[in-house]
């Protein structure tokens, strides 16, 4: 049997690495299809190197565009490659357009699919990712959940329990694997940062796609930077808009290119505070015990608030919340970290997949 992994965007690479490694250890034949949704070296190549991912067997070079144009190109490219390789299972990761396209193509071709990170919900259909999640979970044959509430959300949408598996979080497997290499000192020195600093990442369309939203956000970040210097490894999506709104290199703000995985997590590990609108960064800060302020009205990862260091804030509330977080440090309300975020999600997923390939239905 052959398993294909469809990857396209930065967070996909991080989630897939432990699954690919674990399937390899079980001797499963597999290959990576890179859609080319992310293509800059710092958004793609650096992750393959840092995570030890094998070379893709194909890169579709789909690139950027409107949702329709990008998804259309993904559909055409993926249909061809899936027909060519005739996989027994296609694995998709998270909520990006590459995932949506792969799940649609496979559903129409009758190729079984597995969704890693199933059942996350923000219940905000204004987020393109929420649309992708709902469609993907409706069509996937195997659904791998990172946290217990995801199972309840999926059940409420009519997904049978036989398809669902609570396996933990492969993004945290990658974090644990990188942990021995995470050293803030060289990155802090290279970027010319003081010992006490904050890190900000901002790329959600709702935050960076309009001049008004960008302005409100940038003003809030600049106010935080008057209390603690802020370094912003900037996602290409928000680069121009945030700069136009005033997020430029200054005495207290440092705007840098996106960082590689190990450099970025090293920086986060040494940070006094993280400000973000990323999905994955909410989870990583929870595990690293770094206070995280998420500038969004909702999160599809509520466990990082109930069992982690994450707090949701509006731009208007960000400066005061930053003061409090800097004073309090990392506070984990439940006192315990999310269950099964133990670095072994990849092997759990691989075990279910290999049994499934052999014809077993490992339903709980």
What is the contact surface with ligand UDP in residues (CB under 6 A)? 10-11, 14, 201, 233, 258-259, 261, 264-265, 278-281, 284
Q: Residue 210 CB, nearest distance to ligand UD1 (Å)?
A: 14
* Residue listed under structure tokens 């940062």: 193
Burial class of residue 176, CB neighbours in 10 A (0-12, 13-18, 19+): middle
Q: Which is nearer to ligand UD1, 129 or 173 (CB)?
A: 129
Q: Residue 277 CB, nearest distance to ligand UD1 (Å)?
A: 9
Spatial contact of 310 and 320, defined as CB atoms under 8 Å apart: no
Residue 300 is a binding residue for ligand UD1 (CB under 6 A): no
Spatial contact of 318 and 325, defined as CB atoms under 8 Å apart: no
How many residues touch ligand UD1 under the rule CB under 6 A: the total is 19
Report the partner that residue 215 touches, choosing among ligand UD1, ligand UDP, none (CB closer than 5 to 8 A by kind): none
Report the partner that residue 301 touches, choosing among ligand UDP, ligand UD1, none (CB closer than 5 to 8 A by kind): none
- From the list 5, 115, 203, 307, the catalytic residue is 203
* Residue listed under structure tokens 């900000």: 200
Q: How far apart are CA 304 and CA 215, in angstroms?
A: 27
Q: Select from 7, 25, 24 the least CA-distant residue to 16.
A: 7
Binding to ligand UD1 by CB under 6 A, coded x per residue (else -) over 196-235, reads -------x-------------------------------x
Q: Which is nearer to ligand UD1, 127 or 357 (CB)?
A: 127
Q: Select from 81, 132, 83, 141 the least CA-distant residue to 114.
A: 141
Residues numbered 97 to 116 that lie near ligand UD1 (CB under 6 A) are 97
Rg (CA), the chain: 20
Q: Which is nearer to ligand UD1, 54 or 128 (CB)?
A: 128
For the question of residue 235 being annotated catalytic, the response is no
Residue 128 is a binding residue for ligand UD1 (CB under 6 A): yes
Q: Select from 178, 148, 123 the least CA-distant residue to 298.
A: 123
Q: How far apart are CA 284 and CA 305, in angstroms?
A: 12
Residues numbered 231 to 260 that lie near ligand UD1 (CB under 6 A) are 235-237
Residue 11 is a binding residue for ligand UD1 (CB under 6 A): yes
Q: Residue 354 CB, nearest distance to ligand UDP (Å)?
A: 26
Q: Which of these ranges, 8-16, 143-151, 192-200, 247-255, lies near ligand UD1 under the rule CB under 6 A?
A: 8-16
Helices 345-357 and 10-25 pack at an angle, to 10 degrees, of: 60
Residue 38 is a binding residue for ligand UD1 (CB under 6 A): yes
Q: How far apart are CA 286 and CA 302, in angstroms?
A: 11
* Residue listed under structure tokens 């049978």: 160
Binding to ligand UD1 by CB under 6 A, coded x per residue (else -) over 18-37, reads -------------------x
- The residue within the footprint of ligand UD1, chosen from 2, 31, 39, 256 (CB under 6 A), is 39
Q: How long a stretch of residues is the chain?
A: 364
Q: Select from 16, 18, 337 the least CA-distant residue to 176.
A: 18
Q: How far apart are CA 17 and CA 308, in angstroms?
A: 24
Where in the sequence numbering do the catalytic residues fall? 203
Binding site for ligand UD1 (CB under 6 A): 9-11, 37-40, 43, 64, 70, 95-97, 128-129, 203, 235-237
């Amino acid at each position: 049997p052959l398993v294909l992994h469809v990857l396209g965007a930065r967070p996909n690479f991080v989630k897939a690495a432990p699954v690919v490694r674990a399937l390899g250890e079980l001797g499963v034949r597999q290959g990576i299809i890179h859609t080319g949704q992310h293509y800059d070296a710092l958004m793609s190549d650096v992750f393959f190197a840092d995570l030890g991912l094998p070379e893709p067997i194909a890169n579709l070079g789909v690139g950027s565009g409107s949702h329709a144009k990008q998804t259309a190109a993904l559909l055409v490219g993926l249909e061809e490659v899936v027909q060519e390789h005739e996989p027994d299972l296609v694995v998709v990761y998270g909520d990006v357009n590459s995932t949506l396209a792969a799940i649609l193509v496979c559903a129409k071709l009758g190729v079984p699919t597995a969704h890693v990170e199933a059942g996350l919900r923000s219940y905000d259909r204004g987020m393109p990712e929420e649309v992708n999640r709902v469609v993907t979970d409706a069509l996937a044959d195997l659904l791998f959940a990172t946290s217990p509430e995801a199972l309840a959300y999926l059940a409420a949408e009519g997904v049978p329990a036989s398809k669902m598996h609570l396996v933990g979080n492969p993004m945290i497997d990658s974090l644990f694997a990188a942990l021995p290499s995470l050293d803030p000192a060289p990155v802090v020195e290279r970027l010319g940062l003081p010992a006490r600093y904050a890190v900000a990442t901002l790329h959600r369309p709702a935050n960076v796609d309009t001049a008004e939203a960008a302005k409100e956000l940038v003003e809030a970040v600049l106010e935080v930077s008057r209390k603690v210097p802020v370094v912003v490894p900037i996602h290409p999506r928000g680069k121009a808009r945030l700069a136009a709104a005033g997020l430029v290199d200054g005495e207290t703000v440092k705007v840098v290119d996106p960082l590689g995985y190990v450099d970025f997590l090293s920086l986060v590990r040494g940070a006094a505070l993280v400000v973000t609108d990323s999905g994955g960064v909410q989870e990583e800060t929870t595990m690293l015990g770094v206070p995280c302020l998420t500038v969004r009205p909702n999160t599809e990862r509520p466990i990082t608030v109930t069992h982690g260091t994450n707090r949701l804030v509006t731009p208007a509330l960000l400066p005061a919340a930053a003061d409090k977080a800097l004073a309090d440090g990392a506070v984990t309300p439940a006192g315990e970290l999310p269950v099964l975020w133990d670095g072994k999600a990849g092997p759990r997923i691989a075990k279910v997949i290999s049994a499934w390939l052999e014809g077993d239905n490992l339903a709980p």
